[in-house]
């Protein structure tokens, strides 16, 4: 199997100096190497592995919670490597459950209370291949106008051919087809976008109810089943306000009415905990996502969370970048807290 050979030099010529998007707060812990080092220093967590990425990188999961939890929740960040908001939320939760305070020193007593009842399986890097190749740690302030030659977001996220043209957005973002992935065409790629693993497979676009071309997702399916995890949460970022989506009824073998109840309860409890007003949505039945694939095969609950990314145009130009980072990290943390609290009010899908 041919794999992507990462190039440390960013090959897209544009006006914006992307090196400034590495300059992030210390508590915005999202880079591949620093996250791996952070995980090695944990002493209270139980570490396990889902397996290996296409590029051979470990798919590490950190567990905090009781030996016999009432419910279990698996939250994954970095499905798309430069969508670092979810990674920041999860590393801050790990620090909180490890030491009693997040990476900024803030205590979350409600989180620690719910962690006495709910088991948290926390995976900062679902797609470590993309995280390892990413030349940036944040989108905050980055232009996103396709007509602007300084645009960096789409070239980072989607990737581009050696002739400089972006990959086909309809294929990358639409339902899976044989042309969606770039496996077998890696020698034509100048930069492999952040939606792909090192084999050129789309990381969260299963081809059908039964099969994903991403080895990470097939291994995660076994991990969720073997650990009888009640709920899977996939963290992303986008141009929408904080958003929570679930699959349509035809994409789950479980109780969709209970999933809807969980969805609505999560929004209420997130707001009550001090988090954002979540926009709720039932996702498109013509497309398969990881948060559809796992309920279809296992009958478990699953949600997709989208933070409002910090790229230019999403926030007022005069809004301090520190405030954007803080809102994104804490909105994700509040939503995970709200989901954990809501899980205690619905039956386990395994019983």
Structural domains present in the chain: 26-139+203-343 (3.40.630.10)
Lowest model confidence (mean pLDDT) among 84-88, 98-102, 136-140: 136-140
pLDDT at res. 7: 63
Q: Is pLDDT above 70 for 146?
A: no
Q: Residue 212 is encoded by which pair of tokens?
A: 């994903």
Q: Confidence class of residue 12 from pLDDT cuts 50, 70 and 90?
A: confident
DSSP for 188-219, please give it: GEEEE-TTB-TTS-BTT--SSSS--S-HHHHH
Answer whether 78's CB lies under 8 Å from 127's CB.
Answer: yes
pLDDT at res. 8: 58
Q: Residue 244 is encoded by which pair of tokens?
A: 């929570």
C-alpha 211/C-alpha 231 separation (Å) is: 20
What pTM was computed for the model?
Answer: 0.96
Q: Residue 185: which residues within 8 A CB-CB, separation 6 or more?
A: 200
C-alpha 112/C-alpha 171 separation (Å) is: 42
Shortest CA distance to 152 belongs to which of 163, 168, 141? 141
Q: Is pLDDT above 80 for 5?
A: no
The 3-state DSSP class for residue 166 equals strand
User: What's the half-sphere exposure (Cβ side, CA atoms, 13 Å) at 91?
Assistant: 28
Name the most confidently modeled range: 191-195, 206-210, 222-226: 222-226
Answer whether 308's CB lies under 8 Å from 328's CB.
Answer: yes
C-alpha 254/C-alpha 271 separation (Å) is: 27
pLDDT at res. 148: 58
**Mean pLDDT for the stretch of residues 85-114:** 98
pLDDT at res. 169: 87
* Extended strands (E) in the chain: 46-52, 58-64, 71-76, 118-123, 159-161, 189-192, 231-238, 243-246, 279-282, 301-308
The end-to-end CA distance of the chain, in Å, is: 40
pLDDT at res. 152: 76
Question: How far is CA 209 from each of CA 87, 197, 216, 297, 302, rounded to the nearest angstrom?
Answer: 27, 20, 16, 7, 15
Q: Is pLDDT above 80 for 31?
A: yes
Burial 210-220 (b: 16+ CB within 10 A, else e): eebbbbbbbbb
How far, in whole angstroms, is CA 251 from its chain's centroid?
Answer: 20
pLDDT at res. 64: 98
Q: Is pLDDT above 60 for 278?
A: yes
C-alpha 331/C-alpha 327 separation (Å) is: 6
CB atoms under 10 Å from CB of 103, counted, come to 20
Q: Residue 24 is encoded by which pair of tokens?
A: 């992030």
C-alpha 147/C-alpha 137 separation (Å) is: 24
Lowest model confidence (mean pLDDT) among 195-199, 283-287, 294-298: 283-287
Q: Residue 122 is encoded by which pair of tokens?
A: 């926390």
pLDDT at res. 149: 52
**Mean pLDDT for the stretch of residues 137-146:** 83
pLDDT, one tens digit per residue, over 95-109 is 999 999 999 999 999
C-alpha 314/C-alpha 58 separation (Å) is: 34
Shortest CA distance to 299 belongs to which of 217, 232, 213, 216? 232
DSSP H or E stretch at residue 132? helix 128-133
* Share of residues in the chain with pLDDT > 70 (%): 96
């Amino acid at each position: 199997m041919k794999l992507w050979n990462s190039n440390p030099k960013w090959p897209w010529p544009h006006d914006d100096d992307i090196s400034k998007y590495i300059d992030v707060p210390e508590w915005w812990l999202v880079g591949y190497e620093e996250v791996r080092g952070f995980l090695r220093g944990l002493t209270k967590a139980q570490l396990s592995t889902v397996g290996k990425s296409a590029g051979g990188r470990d798919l590490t999961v950190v567990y905090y919670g009781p030996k016999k939890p009432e419910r279990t929740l698996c939250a994954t960040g970095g499905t798309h490597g430069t969508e670092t908001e979810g990674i920041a939320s999860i590393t801050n939760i790990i620090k909180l459950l490890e030491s009693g305070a997040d990476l900024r020193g803030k205590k979350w007593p409600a989180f620690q209370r719910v962690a006495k009842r709910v088991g948290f399986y926390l995976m900062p890097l679902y797609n470590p291949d993309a995280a390892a190749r990413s030349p940036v740690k944040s989108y905050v302030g980055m232009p996103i106008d396709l007509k602007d030659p300084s645009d960096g977001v789409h070239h980072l996220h989607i990737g581009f051919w050696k002739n400089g043209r972006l990959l086909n957005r309809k294929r990358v973002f639409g339902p899976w087809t044989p042309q969606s992935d770039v496996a077998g065409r890696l020698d034509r790629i100048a930069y492999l976008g952040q939606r792909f693993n090192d084999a050129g497979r789309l990381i969260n676009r299963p081809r059908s109810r039964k099969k994903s071309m991403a080895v990470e997702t097939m291994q995660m399916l076994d991990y969720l089943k073997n650990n009888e995890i009640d709920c899977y949460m996939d963290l992303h970022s986008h141009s929408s306000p904080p958003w929570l989506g679930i699959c349509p009824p035809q994409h789950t073998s479980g109780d969709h009415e209970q999933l809807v109840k969980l969805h609505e309860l999560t929004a209420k409890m997130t707001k009550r905990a001090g988090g954002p007003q979540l926009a709720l949505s039932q996702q498109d039945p013509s497309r398969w996502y990881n948060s559809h694939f796992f309920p279809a095969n296992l009958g478990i609950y699953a949600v997709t969370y989208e933070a409002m990314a910090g790229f230019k145009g999403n926030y007022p130009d005069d809004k301090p970048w520190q405030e954007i980072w803080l809102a994104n990290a804490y909105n994700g943390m509040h939503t995970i807290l709200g989901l954990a609290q809501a899980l205690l009010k619905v039956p386990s899908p395994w019983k």
